[in-house]
Amino acid sequence: MKKFIMALDQGTTSCRSILFDHSGQIVSVAQQEFPQIYPQPGWVEHDPMEIWNTQLFVALESIRKAGAVASEIAAIGITNQRETTVVWDKETGLPVANAIVWQCRRTAERIDALKDQDDHLADYIHQTTGLIPDAYFSASKIEWILDYADGAREKAEAGKLLFGTIDTWLIWNLTKGRVHATDRSNASRTMLYDIEKDRWDPKLLEVFRIPESMLPDVKPSGARYGVTDAGLFEEEIPICSAVGDQQSALFGHCCFTAGDVKNTYGTGCFMLMHTGEKKTLSEKGLLTTIAATTDDTILYALEGSVFAAGAAIQWLQNGLRLFDDAKVTEEMAFSVKDTDGVYVVPAFTGLGAPHWDPYARGTVVGITRGCTREHLVRATLESIAYQTKDILDVMLQESGAMLEGLLVDGGVTKNRFLMQFQADIMGVPVISPDNAEATAQGAAYLAGLTVGFWKDHKELKSLQGDRLRYDPQMDPATKMKLLHDWDRALERAKGWIEQ
């Protein structure tokens, strides 16, 4: 009797494994952090073996905690930190270098040089991959490993090395080297995948000097990838989904059709809008990416991110030492009637979409003698809502969609002050599921659909539990005034660093 779906959630700082039952409820969770490696300023690496060992450990742990046995697990679903790049030896299974993490900036100069060499490259990359050329994506990270890991380029040319994002690395290890595959949502973040022609792009492989023999097969997010090697669990378990974390959260919120939007509020915010079969290319710096499916239809999403959301709360806590626990920010914000005219623009590393100003820096304006800790906390929380609204406005404008409600998840959504303010400032309801596990849920849903554990999208929607709903309440005049002053505050933050 198959009772569970196991979701492996491989994140940037920890590996988690969650068992879901037929009613979509969480039965057990196991989680373990693993080390971040910072060889130089701006560089971030992970040890791929450590990721694999930690992920296997938590998988076994989640089965043990549920009092389950492997034969009760219908399928495994995988969701992962995107773009992070692993290159390994096909024969030995050993990585030729540490994984280069999505945050790592080591190839930023290489990207600049490529853009300088070819004026059309940025446009070609945008048209083909839906992305904006950046060191963030896998392409230049693979090139770096081939150039700098000992003997890697010769081996790669001889067909002896494999590339994968973390989903691919886990599938390869779970199947003991029998399956080398990824899904379209992850492929669409490598900056090597043509998201319309649905194939690796020959010209970009040439630009980044990557042999095609290294690349994984590309499948739908929900598909039969293979079965786990006999030695790992008491019984073989089919692996039935792989999906990048943000596309997984979109699916986990049951955003299946054009116009559905979710925003994940963590250290930063990631907003994705489903655009259905329409590949919408943004003029204002949003990314176009492939959404999860269980068949070969290609569906798209628009994506925008706020660089500093939870990071701004962490700054108040650890930098300014205004409190010891982020939880208290809710009460502090509610304790004052407004920010007393104070605006915080947390542009610590510049401003992202739709402002795109790398020279902007964090700014606090409007301070008078009456400004207190509480005002500063409230203004920081409000800044998260303003930044989210700025992205959402562009998405709605460029997609032509109408929004009925914003689905939210992530640690920061525990803050009821912020969620209410978000609804007020956008003028649409904010809807928060009572379990904030949208990311793991997406991978579980996709795997469950693939093996018939759940029947269809309608059944998945019926599994969604209670939701907290925040309806807009602010009067239009107040909202207009706040937004007007936010725009003025943004202007003061822009261009601070002299070029």
Nearer to ligand ADP, 63 or 384 (CB): 384
* Beta strand pairing call for 406-409 and 430-433: parallel
In the complex, the smallest distance separating the C-beta of residue 105 from ligand ADP, rounded to whole angstroms, is 18
CB of 137 to ligand ADP, least distance (A): 19
Strands 222-227 and 238-244 turn out to be antiparallel
* CA distance to 125, 198, 347, per residue, from 326 (Å): 40, 43, 20
As a whole number of angstroms, the distance between CA 159 and CA 185 comes to 25
| Closer by beta carbon to ligand ADP, 269 or else 286 | 269
Distance CA 79, CA 248 (A): 7
Of the two residues 144 and 265, which places its CB atom closer to ligand ADP in the complex? Answer: 265
Q: How far is CA 51 from each of CA 6, 40, 169, 230, 438, rounded to the nearest angstrom?
A: 17, 21, 9, 20, 22
Q: Minimum Å distance from CB 195 to ligand ADP?
A: 26
Q: Judged by CB, which is closer to ligand ADP: 227, or 376?
A: 376
**Structure tokens that stand for 145 in this block:** 């490993």
DSSP per residue, 337-367: SS-TT-EEE--BTBB-TTT-BTT---EEE--
Distance CA 229, CA 488 (A): 59
**Dihedral of the CA atoms 235, 239, 245, 249 (nearest 10)?**
-90
Q: Which is nearer to ligand ADP, 3 or 414 (CB)?
A: 414
* Closest separation in Å from C-beta 381 to ligand ADP: 7
Q: How far is the CB of 309 from ligand ADP (least distance, A)?
A: 7
**Site of interaction with ligand ADP (CB under 6 A):** 266-267, 310, 313-314, 326-327, 329-330, 410-412, 414-415
Q: How far is the CB of 412 from ligand ADP (least distance, A)?
A: 4
What is the three-class DSSP state of 120?
coil
Question: Of 288 and 415, which CB lies nearer to ligand ADP in the complex structure?
Answer: 415
Query: In which region does residue 257 sit, left (phi positive, over 0), alpha (psi from -120 to 50) or beta (all else)?
Result: beta
For residue 192, which of 180, 182, 206 has the smallest C-alpha distance? 206
| Closer Cβ to ligand ADP, 19 or 333, answer by number | 333
CB of 415 to ligand ADP, least distance (A): 3
Q: How far apart are alpha carbons 181 and 459 in whole angstroms? A: 28
Least spacing, CB of residue 313 vs ligand ADP, in Å? 4
Whose Cβ is closer to ligand ADP: residue 246's or residue 275's?
A: 246
Tokens representing 72 are 């009760």
Closest distance of CB 429 from ligand ADP, Å? 20
Q: Token pair 């991110």 is at which residue? A: 305
Q: Which is nearer to ligand ADP, 136 or 193 (CB)?
A: 136
Of 310 and 448, nearer to ligand ADP (C-beta) is 310
State how far the Cα of 134 lies from the Cα of 123, in Å rounded to an integer.
13
Give the containing element (helix H, strand E) for 22.
none
The nearest distance, CB 267 to ligand ADP, in angstroms, is 4
Contact of 82 with 12, CB cutoff 8 Å: no
Quick one: tokens of 387? 């930044």
